[in-house]
Amino acid sequence: MTMDLLNNWLSQLEKINTINDLNNFKSSILGKSGIINNEMKKISTMSDDEKKEFGKNINQLKQTIEQAISNKRAQINATYIENILKQDKIDVTLPCVNSSIGNRHIISTYISRIKDHYTKRGFTVIEGNEVDTDFFNFDALNIPAHHPARQESDTFYIDGYPDTLLRTQTSTAQIHAMLDIGVPIRMISMGKVYRSDNLDITHSPMFHQIECLVVDSNPISIRNMKSEIQKMLAFIFDTNIQNIAMRLRPSYFPFTEPGVEVDCKYKKLDDKIVLSREGDKWMEIAGAGMVHPNVFSACKLPTNLFGFAFGMGLERLIMLKHGINDIRILCEH
């Protein structure tokens, strides 16, 4: 197998413009019945010295053509995306036909309202990346390799990029913030997250989360966390903070120690949920806890810092407040 053969392959590769043709080309060379595998069968007839030289040459050849095919695949995909963007280009400078028609979606309204509120309170508001890596979505959040959430049945991985995925939680923004901004930090992260769920009345493969992170070198306690959760719920449900009766139940989250589930007292009024100390039932409404030292370590921060984090689903809060019993209504309108 000579350099002439490699140059011939590279010449053929230059002329390929589709993924289908590229896959056929790859199969003809690297496939089970491809040229390289057929050549490898000859090794049994060679002497030891010949085997050593042959193995070295064919491995170099294989690595070179594999890299060339990978580069070509990336080039074809980039060209495809560029063409799609050109075809679907929207002229945002065109005037609106009738600006009085339509309203903002209820989710967008809540996101804008929450963002404005916390910006005024001095929090950093971050949307973060919807497409991220295993490190930010799992590793840095102390989620072990064997955790069920990391399986393809629960998480949307990007085809061809095994370490890249659609984030399953907005906590990824917290890791980026601690790495990029450092501490002290007070932040809210809001945005879309993705999980491999079937769409029904209570589940959706895409929904929105709100998360809060507060980290400082000065002492921060669970009491501070509880107070901040009460403030958020009072704001979202348009009530006085004194009306928010909460209890914390021990729970496990890999990124907190200790971790808790947050319950609130409520009552029903005209099919809507009203958070009230006068309520006769408890409802789980958020997950929370003190930031695990391993998370600080992953963000290259001292492990003796103090911090808390909590998160909740935005759609669920909206459904509770407005008496909506089917999440699909929020997806379809």
**Domain spans of the chain?**
3-87, 106-332
Alpha helices by DSSP H, listed for the chain, are 3-14, 19-30, 35-40, 48-87, 106-120, 134-137, 171-180, 222-236, 293-298, 314-322, 328-332
The vertex-266 CA angle with 261 and 269, nearest 5°, equals: 145
- Taking alpha carbons only, the member of 250, 256, 259, 253 closest to residue 295 is 256
The Cβ of residue 191 has, within 10 Å, a number of other Cβ atoms equal to: 19
What is the CATH architecture of 106-332? 2-Layer Sandwich (3.30)
How many whole angstroms separate alpha carbon 174 and alpha carbon 214? 10
pTM beyond 0.75, yes or no: no
CA 31 centroid distance within chain: 34
pLDDT at 206: 94
How many whole angstroms separate alpha carbon 47 and alpha carbon 293? 58
Q: Answer yes or no: are the C-beta atoms of 158 and 165 closer than 8 Å.
A: yes
Give the DSSP per-residue string, 25-45. Answer: HHHHHHSTTSHHHHHHGGGGG
The vertex-43 CA angle with 37 and 46, nearest 5°, equals: 160
pLDDT at 36: 85
pLDDT at 210: 96
pLDDT at 97: 67
Q: Which residues of the chain have pLDDT under 50?
A: none
pLDDT at 111: 95
Residues 199-249 have pLDDT tens digits of 888 889 999 999 999 999 999 999 999 999 999 999 999 999 999 999 999
How many whole angstroms separate alpha carbon 324 and alpha carbon 330? 9
pLDDT at 58: 84
How many whole angstroms separate alpha carbon 213 and alpha carbon 327? 27
Determine the residue type at 23. N
pLDDT at 152: 66
Determine the residue type at 99. S
pLDDT at 98: 66
- Taking alpha carbons only, the member of 107, 113, 108 closest to residue 235 is 113
Contacts of 5 (CB under 8 A, 6+ apart): 61
